[in-house]
Amino acid sequence: MERIDYPNKESWKLILERPTESVSDIEGVVDAIFSEVKEGGDEAIKAYTQKFDQVELESILVGQNEIQDALKEVPKQLQDAISLAKNNIEKFHAAQKTERVGMETMPGVKCWQEKRPIQKIGLYIPGGTAPLFSTILMLAVPAQLAGCNEIVLCTPPDKQGKINPAILYSAQLCGVTKIFKVGGIQAIAGMTFGTGSIPKVYKIFGPGNQYVTVAKQLATKFGVAIDMPAGPSELLVVADDSANAAFVASDLLSQAEHGVDSQVILVSTSDRLLTEVSAEIKEQLEALPRKDIAQKSIANSKLILLRNDEQALELIDEYGPEHFIVCMENEEFYTRNVSNAGSVFIGNYTPESAGDYASGTNHTLPTNGYAKQYSGVNLDSFMKSMTFQKISAEGIQQIGGAIELMAEAEGLQAHKNAVTLRLNSLE
């Protein structure tokens, strides 16, 4: 990891750049695939699956027999772990339910707000170097709680045309209605337009590589909503001498192993801690099965020494990390004042991987600095707020005059007339 001591503020923007390609570098590829899937449907999907996943499929829909076979392959201990995680995710997301909000804004004018589920949602589950079955729990559980009617899942097959058994087990456990062996840009295009097999959905959820991220952004041009621009994973840790250097190094490596375009950053006010963590990373890296991936990610990452908490927090908010770990003696300063972070992990015994799997919070979070504008996925992500109003004769008399004056001032005579007719009928 590159170490930078006391960088001046003018250099922060350059230091904090993500190792991602720009949208313009990827957009042409995404546009071309979208066009072909829109026109060719399932046949285009199968052609791209053969090209990118090196497998020829007769059907992209996962059948019930495949699901039943996969259920037998998931070890009991893993099933129990998935159930524990599911229960915690259910508890935390069920607690996010809100009641109807209603009031009488003035006599005879009743207004209220209710929430309704998004009827058709699509889930994208990465399956390449790491089959992220945990993401199914994070997305399908709140979708079920919200009451979504149709939950469609797309995930890439392996070279034998199969889906990881843990993905199929988790999908079946969480009420996914249809599963398709489709990955990458073509999966997002399929859920955007609909094909002979894949239903068109109203909103697409799930993380992915840079191509999937751009594909999701393009989907919004065709009337499909997305959860957020969730791209390559990232982590920022702020730590001082109260932190355990081995723990910090393990957290940094846990994110670095996601992919070569992941990024991790350690910010500290302690020179000694940076030195110790750097040594720990080298030692722990050697034992990782995904060493090559983590090593490339670490090359894009930074160790940053700053003078005080105030300066450190300012840099953190400028970066807007997806995951933010606080291992500081003065932890309350950071937890109380941080403005831009997807999810925050506090203390030496709160690894980021707890949020990735089983604590109950959602791990589908904004990356690339979008934590400045977006929330992570939550129960409301799968719902819409609808407002209602009912106005009585007394109510229209109370507000009618104001509506008439405002409509006339805007030059909208028909708006005024809609009120005037009603008022005249009450005279």
Q: What is the pLDDT of residue 98?
A: 94
Span 262-317, pLDDT tens digits: 899 999 999 999 999 999 999 999 999 999 999 999 988 999 999 999 999 999 99
Q: Which two tokens stand for residue 264?
A: 């991790």
Q: Which residues of the chain have pLDDT under 70?
A: 20-23, 128-129
Query: Has 21 been labeled as part of a binding site?
Result: no
Is 373 part of any domain?
Answer: no
Are residues 166 and 184 both part of a single domain?
Answer: yes
**Number of domains into which the chain is organized:** 3
Q: What is the pLDDT of residue 260?
A: 87
Query: Has 233 been labeled as part of a binding site?
Result: yes
Are residues 340 and 211 both part of a single domain?
Answer: no
Last residue of a domain, one of 229, 255, 274: 229
Are residues 403 and 320 both part of a single domain?
Answer: no
Query: Has 93 been labeled as part of a binding site?
Result: no
* Domain of 204, in residue numbers: 23-109+116-229
Span 215-230, pLDDT tens digits: 999 999 999 999 997 7
Query: Has 160 been labeled as part of a binding site?
Result: no
Is 319 part of any domain?
Answer: yes
Last residue of a domain, one of 173, 206, 229: 229
**64 vs 71: CA distance, rounded Å:** 11
Is 381 part of any domain?
Answer: no
Active site positions, annotated: 322-323
Q: What is the pLDDT of residue 312?
A: 98
Query: Has 410 been labeled as part of a binding site?
Result: yes
> The CATH number of the domain where 264 resides is what?
3.40.50.1980
Last residue of a domain, one of 209, 229, 249: 229
Q: What is the pLDDT of residue 19?
A: 81
Q: What is the pLDDT of residue 229?
A: 78
Nearest to 206 by CA among 161, 152, 257: 152
Q: What is the pLDDT of residue 265?
A: 97
Query: Has 363 been labeled as part of a binding site?
Result: no
